[in-house]
Structure 1
Amino acid sequence: TKLIHLDLNKGDLWLLVAMLSWAIYSTMLRTHKTNLKYLSFISVIVSIGLIFLFPQFLFEIYNHHIIRFNFPVFLITSYVVLFAGLGAYILWNKAVVIVGPNKAGIFLHLMPVFSSFMAIFLLNEKLMNFHIIGAIIIIIGIYLSSKKSLSR
């Protein structure tokens, strides 16, 4: 009965749409192959993303939410573009082509593990028992879902 009384908001809907889009994108990577090289393919994806983000950019400027660019902002932006953006997309695309979206998708569950440990080491967050327990459960789940069936 607790599921009936969930307090959902617009952000939950956006998250659902994002996850469905990601699932469709990942599935289509393997089933609808393109002749584009990885960097060209990523350029197309980034261009489409920029088109969708442009209205938000205009909204931010209209409401005077302008970011002042300095060296720390440059470093953060460079990290996001090179590693979390370009590098992650290239590696994800290769993984989906090699092992398929079902097997690659299992490893998405490692994101909170890496995020937690990055927050601990980079932001001096305190390591809590739930970090360790959660990481162990995720790793066991990945192991169990990745190993071959014993009945074969």
Structure 2
Amino acid sequence: MNKGKKIYGFMVLAALFWSGAFIAGKYAVPFIPTFTLTFLRFFFASLILCILSGAARKKEEDRFRLKKEHLPIFLFTGIVGMFGYHVFFFIALKYTTAINSSIIGAMNPIVTIVIAALFLRNKIPAKQIAGILLSFFGVLLTITGADVETLVQLDFNRGDLWMAAAVICWAAYGVFSKSKGAGIPPFWLTYYSFLVCTLILIPFVIWEKPWQLLAQAPPQAWIAVLYMSIFASVAGYMIQQIAIKQIGPSKTSIFINLVPVFSMVLATLILGEALAPIKLATAGIIILGGCICQFSGSADQKG
């Protein structure tokens, strides 16, 4: 029981770290190209985990050995969970606000339930279906700004759509980690996922020719990269992986509901973004839908 309570507390901390990534990302995206920014985030994160791997190997050497059959798992988590989510995330921040992107990010629990139902054959109770529809309605209000004309003309903010794609990647990563990575300790699943992402990004970084721009990046952009590497990536993902194994992906993903709350406060205080009443309303609708889903009860949620 105490162990369960502790992981809940750590997941609140992880949500705070992730909300800070929306702020840090807004500082970095104007100065560092998308693939390069993703590469730097995971290069530094992988370096940190490499330094820590000696201690982890001694602690878990009897529990995990890297084998050929692990390669497809790390390819999926590295490409979909790390490369896919973060590339889409940084593209989204170029075109939309930190508040909007974090509100759409709150859809993760709902998308997680849908993906688990599709691929793990988890049943969706009627109450969960109601929560899913409510949350999708909240997202629709977010990306349209509650403007019917925007919906009719399908004139959506491209950043909001990119963030929706990022959420799908994040949710798929969580479900896949639970189903296929159950036998891999959290440290190694995180480390090798980061490493695959870093290596996959190299040709994309060369294509961007970042050496022409990085010298012009201000100190705050580099501080933002380090923050995302240390706190949002290493600490956040390690906590998430431990939580997925202890309480399951659906219960873990409910803490994403805290991210828009933290992000709205931070974006208003640090970035000076306007917090319109409609944003509070849509965030509330999405979070309410997520809570209905989480507490309506499913096999995954109970275990």
- State which drifts further: 117-126 or 88-97: 117-126
Describe how 1:60-75 pairs up with structure 2 within 5 A: 60-63=56-59, 64=61, 65-71=63-69, 73-75=70-72
| Residues 120 and 126, structure 1, Cα contact 8 Å, conserved in 2 | yes
Counterpart selection for 2:115 from 111, 115, 118: 118
Question: Cα distance, 1:135 vs. partner?
Answer: 0.8
Q: Does 1:22 align with 2:23?
A: no
Q: CA RMSD in A?
A: 2.6
Describe how 1:29-40 pairs up with structure 2 within 5 A: 29-33=25-29, 35-40=31-36
Distance in structure 2 (CA, Å) of the matches to 1:43 and 1:144: 33
Question: Cα distance, 1:33 vs. partner?
Answer: 4.3
Cross-structure match for 2:131: 134
Cross-structure match for 1:45: 41
Question: Cα distance, 1:28 vs. partner?
Answer: 2.4
Distance in structure 2 (CA, Å) of the matches to 1:89 and 1:70: 26
Taking a change above 3 Å as real, the CA distance of residues 74 and 18 of structure 1, as seen in their structure-2 partners, is: same
| Residues 60 and 66, structure 1, Cα contact 8 Å, conserved in 2 | no
Q: Percent identity?
A: 12
Question: Cα distance, 1:55 vs. partner?
Answer: 6.2
Distance in structure 2 (CA, Å) of the matches to 1:13 and 1:53: 23
| Residues 38 and 90, structure 1, Cα contact 8 Å, conserved in 2 | yes
How many residue pairs match? The answer is 143
| Residues 93 and 101, structure 2, Cα contact 8 Å, conserved in 1 | yes
Letter in 2 for 1:45: R
Cross-structure match for 2:254: none
| Residues 119 and 125, structure 1, Cα contact 8 Å, conserved in 2 | yes
Taking structure 2 as the reference length, the TM-score comes to 0.42
SS for the counterpart of 1:9 is: helix
Distance in structure 2 (CA, Å) of the matches to 1:102 and 1:18: 18
Distance in structure 2 (CA, Å) of the matches to 1:125 and 1:12: 23
Distance in structure 1 (CA, Å) of the matches to 2:38 and 2:16: 19
- State which drifts further: 47-56 or 76-85: 47-56
Cross-structure match for 1:96: 93
Taking a change above 3 Å as real, the CA distance of residues 95 and 22 of structure 1, as seen in their structure-2 partners, is: same
- State which drifts further: 73-82 or 51-60: 51-60
Counterpart selection for 2:7 from 11, 26, 31: 11
Question: Cα distance, 1:108 vs. partner?
Answer: 1.0
After superposition, give the CA deviation of every residue in 1:29-51 in whole Å (9 maximum; x if it has no partner): 22454532222211211123224
Distance in structure 2 (CA, Å) of the matches to 1:97 and 1:105: 14
Letter in 1 for 2:67: F
Distance in structure 2 (CA, Å) of the matches to 1:10 and 1:142: 31
Cross-structure match for 1:79: 76
Distance in structure 2 (CA, Å) of the matches to 1:90 and 1:99: 14
| Residues 104 and 139, structure 2, Cα contact 8 Å, conserved in 1 | yes
Cross-structure match for 1:4: none
